[in-house]
A = this chain, B = another copy of it.
Amino acid sequence: MRPIRYNVAASLDGYIADAQGAFDWIPDDSTVDFATLFARVDTYLLGRRTWDTVRDTASAPFNPGARVYVFSRTLAPGTEQGVTVVRDDPVALARSLRHEEGSGEIWLFGGGELFATLLAAGQVDQVEITVVPVLLGGGVPLVAHLPERSKLSLIHTQTYPSGMVALHYKVLAAEGATR
């Protein structure tokens, strides 16, 4: 099974963007080894609002040749330059991608609503939050409303010189998870 990893930076109070949608509170820490962290990622899942912010950046952060899926109820479905806009149920697609052959990993890139939908459906395997040393006091929550609590199991922590702390967890209620 190919794991779905929700990997985001968040403020200590649990926001992935501030109230204006800004990310400029995330330090540019050159010691974070993104290449190793995401070496096996060949598939990306994004909500539409997250896509809007990524699309506007100069360089897309996606591995070459990777598949990118954007879930949207408003954009026109279809594939263009490796990016597939999907209007269908994200749960069904996520389940199908997790059960594909191979060892590639799936990066759930954001945001908090898509994460909540997939988490509640047991389709997220790992939650990887890089905690930024800042309090925002409001913004976009790292997870939207959940029908019930989701218990996690800590698997890894890492402290960076910038004061960011990576906290990696296994989702105990993931479909097919072993405790």
A153 contacts across to B, CB distance below 8 A: 133, 163
- Does A93 belong to the interface (CB within 8 Å)? no
The closest CB in chain B to the CB of A169 belongs to: B133
A14 and B152 alpha carbons, distance in the complex (Å): 14
A144 contacts across to B, CB distance below 8 A: 137
Query: Contacts A12-B169, A152-B163 known; A135 to B131 CB distance under 8 Å?
Result: no
Question: Which size class do A's interface residues fall under?
Answer: 35 or more
A106 and B51 alpha carbons, distance in the complex (Å): 45
The contact of A135 among B15, B119, B137, by CB within 8 Å, is B119
Tell me whether A150 and B163 are in contact (CB under 8 A): no
The closest CB in chain B to the CB of A18 belongs to: B149
- Does A157 belong to the interface (CB within 8 Å)? yes
- Does A46 belong to the interface (CB within 8 Å)? no
Tell me whether B154 and A143 are in contact (CB under 8 A): no
